Structure 1
Amino acid sequence: MTEQPFEWTPPVRTNFARDRMQRFARERGADRALLWVDAGGRVEDISFAALDARAAKAAAVLKGAGVKRGDTVLILLARELEWWELMLGCLRLGAIASPGTVQLMPKDIAYRRAAAKAVCVIVGADIADRVDTALTGDPIARLHIGGPRAGWGDYSALAAQAEPSEAIADTAFDDPALCYFTSGTTGNPKMTIHGAGYPLAHEITARYWLDLGPGDLMWNVSDTGWAKAAWSSLFAPWMMGAGIFAYHAPGFDGEAVLGLLGTYPVTTLCAPPTAYRMFVRSDLGTRRFETLRRCVSAGEPLNPEVIDLWRAATGLSIHDGYGQTETVMLCCNRAGAERQGAMGKPAPGIDLAVIGEGGQRLPPGEEGDIALRVAGRRPPGLFLGYRDDDARTASVFRDGWYLTGDRAFVDEDGFFWFVGRADDVILSAGYRIGPFEVESALFEHPAVAESAVVASPDPTRGEVVKAFVVLASGHGASDALVEELQTHVKSTTAPYKYPRKIEFVATLPKTVSGKIRRKELREQEWSGENRRN
């Protein structure tokens, strides 16, 4: 079958909650929009009409809490059912939704509240104490999911009493709608802003990578705090009229996921490489996934061996894809354009290339920067910029290209092959971790004089955080101190950032100006002699 080209004619004004969800509620209201299951056995099968009604009530609750068009709302939830209706509720109001992981610590929460100038925060019981600690005395509006809590609005009670808000903001295509915090090499996480038209560009993600249509049921196992959830747990499936499957449980249980795949009619699975590595170590021979027809992975390169093992057990391939918080799907393996181990080919509608220092497209086999062409017209789904940081925004554009910060080469057939990050950001089990945040947390411990944090190879997670630590006077290296430092980082910043490896050193390699040479340490870690460590 010949692949149809992607036609991108963005409207001047758009609102996903109105133009997609409300229309589906009106035209095919009984069709499944969301099948939600939790670890306790509760099942909610929600139609487009019912979800649209929930979103209207969510908008009314937000409005009652003082949220206005253009305001930012922190939504720090896991996979609570309310996450979906609140995301849509923000869109209905024209407010800016800023999702975040429940692993955030008080310091992270306080930073996000201040940086985003948020007017409302919405959380569940698992993070409410940390929010209270972070925002003591702060007048920000607070909504609690899961029952009454002193000093908070009870979301369920307020939603039950709310008069549904029928009005939907007539937002411009580039009106800010989403704010994602993403880690960089230096400084605190930056705020990636997407406009109201961003959801429409996920038709690329849905059509060419996820291969979705009406009747499909999409399960993306990613945390709702990450932009990947916007891709595959929100916009892409509903752009194509497919349903979304969600499982709410603490942590990640690979056996539970496999069991649910055999129980519920999931047709499309998106999971990070770490999850697939766990799956293939299970007894897949006894499992049957009757409805599953498409499997995809993103976040980091997937081992070809894992793809082979999964295919041998299930008969299904795993289609690697590539994109960023700042974009939609850029490059993927799809029907008629697949190569195991490769990132795939650029999606229709996307002008992606490997370029050199002068902005020129490089010939096959030559390593360079992965870049998205922006000269002439704005690519579908590209972010609006980093909020309140014009310098950082400008730094990722060069010679008519948006620079992804990743390196690759293209082969003779046009397939992209990932080489690595161009900077020091660590990609571990699908998480982006900036070394600065970990180094800052370590520095707060009295035993640490200075440190350097880099990626280190790991067979399950792809790479993990490793810290090279120079001890302060009076402190000695020990296994006990390693554990103490790890615990300290977990309590200071989001636990997924803690260094799983720590090496005590006398000095750190530096430039003549005193800047730590993380690249030298990273290359040392990834050399053949160190792979066994």
Structure 2
Amino acid sequence: MKSAAAPSRTPAVVDEYQALYREFHWAVPERMNIAQLCCTRWKDDPARIAIHYEDEQGVTASYAYAWLDEQSNRLANVLARLGVGRGDRVAIILPQRPETAVAHMACYKLGAVAMPLSILFGPDALEYRLQNSEAGVAIVDPAGARNLAEALPSCPRLAHIIAVDGGPEGALDWRRELDGADNVFEPADTLATDPAVLIYTSGTTGAPKGALIPHSAMIGNLTGFVASQNWFPQEGDVFWSPADWAWTGGLWDALLPTLHFGMPIVAYRGRFSAETAFRLLEKYGVTNTFLFPTALKMMMKAVPAPRERYRLKLRAIMSAGEAVGDAVFGWCESALGVTPNEMFGQTEMNYIVGNSAQRWPARPGSMGRPYPGHQVAVIDDDGNPVGAGQTGEVALHRTDIHGHPDPIFFLGYWKNPEATRNKYSGDWCRTGDLAAMDEDGYLWYQGRADDMFKAAGYRIGPSEIENCLVKHPAVANVAVVPKPDAERGNLVKAFIVLTPETARGTAEDAALIAQLQEHVRGKLAPYEYPKEIEFIGELPMTTTGKVQRRVLRLLEQERATAASSQTAGAA
């Protein structure tokens, strides 16, 4: 057994927030390109590592920024030969691997639009995005090749496929194409406001919407990234996150900002597990990470005392997507010696609210404060800011507190001007997330606007109940939704994933349900305890690690409708 690292003793944090927030000013050049910032400017140092790569088969390699720059030049020349020009969309259907970074840099150098797509997308999901975006080229590896092949007949505009390590029949071979291409490329002279990335948001209703993001968003993300990572970069910093680079969390919260600062990022091509996470953190000396609350919960349950088994160098943890909750928050502080910095944002305007535990005190359960450069408020249905302590919708103003344009904003939804207009109330861009802001500017998450529900006249937010339940040793994960009820309107229902130890036990379900209900009843308001609990093998999750409460909510509605029909038939 390895000796435990000395416990971290964090001194009292001096609150520097007001000075940092009020004195910050944006400096966005008229012309800029993400590839120049994240790749080309670092290429002259041959020893500077961009990516440490590892896969499930144990293959490992390290790649320098000079390699990344040369390979992306070669790919840019290949894409140009295939007819890709400024503004054209290139689909990137790749997992965490070096070629993914190369593909992004090549698109930016061309002035084209990189469209990352998850390898988990099925044929229908790929078909919709490829059709809607009118992408002319797709880059894929075996992880996404089969689903892409099924989608191809319905995507006539997709003229070319470049395959890494094999792909659909007729695809161009990545290695052969790049080996035959020139390693010099003259990059496009792009404006900061030119489009760079198209990411389709899953949303909660309707078809996915493509958020078109400009080069300037690279700069707009930096205040939040630097702060949430405790003033990244510092000498020796290494970044890793399991977040898929096809999504905002992996691309804008991990890959691009790490490369922007010329630091190394770990790319792991494989399935996430708590043990794998700790192994990677130790092996690569990871100092900074972004971990979803779901991942942190898994790690907490699997390895309660990690410093007794692993030598860790972690100095910053950012978490987003769901509320961390004080159980996980406390475990990070006591077991990892790191205060987690919660962050809030979305694809359309990322990294706008959060914590920076070394610069201002983190309050467990809070989303944090608006990061420097972002003017954030909680607004009502009419677009007016509400008072301290009142619940409303989190919104971001088009300008910072000095009246200057905020560079974090997306350009609009692809081919959907109506949805773009509906995103705004005047100069406020709505997030669809509910929160309350206290007198010190900390925001407290109340859930998605469509996650809130009423039960017996009380307004219920699921996150507080879920946080309470996950503290119970039998609970691995949980989602709380409304169950339709004729008398109360709704009942509070919890879908619970049990820990493996509990699931293997012989305890009667009824006894465990009563125990879990009492656990909540003793800690929250009487109306918040779950009147009904259902054990489930796994929760429906998005590919970004968020619980899909909507799926469970619809399930309960369908069950209620079926039960009502049976009752009516019997009568």
Provide the rounded CA distance (Å) in 1 between the counterparts of 2:384 and 2:297: 37
Mapping of 1:266-285 within 5 angstroms? 266-283=286-303, 284-285=306-307
Residue of 299, 318, 323 corresponding to 2:345: 323
d(CA) in 2 for partners of 1:65, 1:277: 46
Does the CA-based 8 Å contact 1:350-1:380 persist in structure 2? no
Aligned: 1:238 with 2:259? yes
- Whether the 8 Å contact between 1:205 and 1:236 is mirrored in structure 2 is no
Give the SS at the match of 2:395.
strand
For 1:301, the aligned partner's letter is: A
Deviations 1:11-35 (A, max 9, x none): 1111121244211213x34222211
Q: How does 1:8-23 map to 2 (within 5 A)?
A: 8-23=26-41
TM-score (norm 2): 0.74
Paired residue secondary structure (2:153): coil
Partner of 2:334: 312
Matched, 1:391 2:408: no
1:463 Cα deviation from its structure 2 partner: 3.4
Q: Does 1:228 align with 2:240?
A: no
CA distance in 2, matches of 1:152, 1:465: 45
Between structure 1 and structure 2, the one with the greater Rg is 2
Provide closer, same or farther for how the CA distance between residues 467 and 94 of structure 1 changes in structure 2, counting only shifts above 3 A: farther
Q: What residue in structure 1 maps to residue 559 of structure 2?
A: 505
Q: Which amino acid aligns with 2:122?
A: M
> The residue matched to 1:281 in structure 2 has which SS?
helix
Amino acid at match of 1:61: V
Identity %: 30
CA distance in 2, matches of 1:288, 1:506: 49
Q: What's the secondary structure of 1:391's corresponding residue?
A: helix
Taking structure 1 as reference, are residues 114 and 147 closer, same or farther at Cα in structure 2, changes over 3 Å only?
A: closer
Report the alpha carbon displacement of residue 421 of structure 1 after superposing the two structures with TM: 1.0
Residue identity opposite 1:393 in structure 2: T
Is the Cα contact below 8 Å between 1:464 and 1:499 reproduced in 2?
no
1:235–1:24 distance in 2 versus 1, CA, 3 Å: same
Q: Distance in 2 between matches of 1:66 and 1:424?
A: 45
5+ residue gaps, structure 2, are 1-13, 454-461, 471-475, 485-536, 564-571
When residues 29 and 285 of structure 1 are mapped into structure 2, their CA distance, relative to the original with a 3 A threshold, is closer
Return the offset for 1:377.
4.1
Separation in 2, partners of 1:495, 1:321: 14
Partner in structure 1 of residue 479 of structure 2: 463
Correspondent of 2:359 among 318, 332, 336:
336
Corresponding letter in the other structure for 1:307:
F
Match of 1:360 among 381, 384, 388: 384
How far 1:254 sits from its partner (Å)?
A: 1.6
Mapped pair 1:86 → 2:86? no
Match of 2:566 in 1: none
- In the TM superposition, residue 158 of structure 1 has moved relative to its aligned partner by 1.2
Amino acid at match of 1:146: D
Aligned equivalents of 2:112 and 2:318: distance in 1? 31
* Partner SS for 1:262: helix
Q: Give the secondary-structure state (helix, strand or coil) at the position aligned to 2:377.
A: strand
Pick the aligned partner of 1:303 from 322, 325, 339.
325
State the SS of the aligned residue for 2:246: coil
1:463 partner amino acid: A
2:429 match: 402
The AA in structure 2 aligned to 1:292 is L
| Structure 2 Cα separation of the partners of residues 162 and 169 of structure 1 | 18
Answer with 30-39 or 340-349: which moved more.
Answer: 30-39
Instruction: Report the alpha carbon displacement of residue 178 of structure 1 after superposing the two structures with TM.
Output: 0.5
Deviations 1:357-390 (A, max 9, x none): 3433222111111111115543121111111111
**Which residue pairs with 1:440 in the alignment?**
none
Q: 1:465 to 1:40 in 2, by over 3 A?
A: farther
Report what 2:237 is aligned to.
216
Q: How many pairs align? A: 460
Alpha-carbon contact 2:325-2:365 (below 8 Å) kept:
yes
Partner-residue secondary structure (3-state), 1:135: helix
Instruction: Name whichever of 299-308 and 355-364 sits farther off.
Output: 355-364
Asked whether the 8 Å contact 2:238–2:284 carries over to 1, the reply is no
1:178 matched to 2:178? The reply is no
Q: Give the one of 147, 152, 156 matched to 1:130.
A: 147
Gaps of 5+ in 1: 427-453, 469-485, 510-533
Change (3 A) 1:495 1:236: closer
Q: Secondary structure at the match of 1:280?
A: helix
Residues 256 and 185 of structure 1, relative CA distance in 2, 3 Å threshold = closer
d(CA) in 1 for partners of 2:51 and 2:290? Answer: 16
The 3-state SS of whatever aligns with 1:136 is: helix
Partner of 2:523: none
| Counterpart contact for 2:94–2:139, Cα < 8 Å | yes
CA-based RMSD of the aligned residues comes to 3.1
CA contact (8 A) 1:267 1:292 kept: yes
Identify which range, 280-289 or 37-46, moves more after superposition.
280-289
Tell me what 2:81 maps to: 64
Return 499-508 or 126-135, whichever deviates more: 499-508
Mapped to 2, the partners of 1:8 and 1:425 lie a distance apart of 36
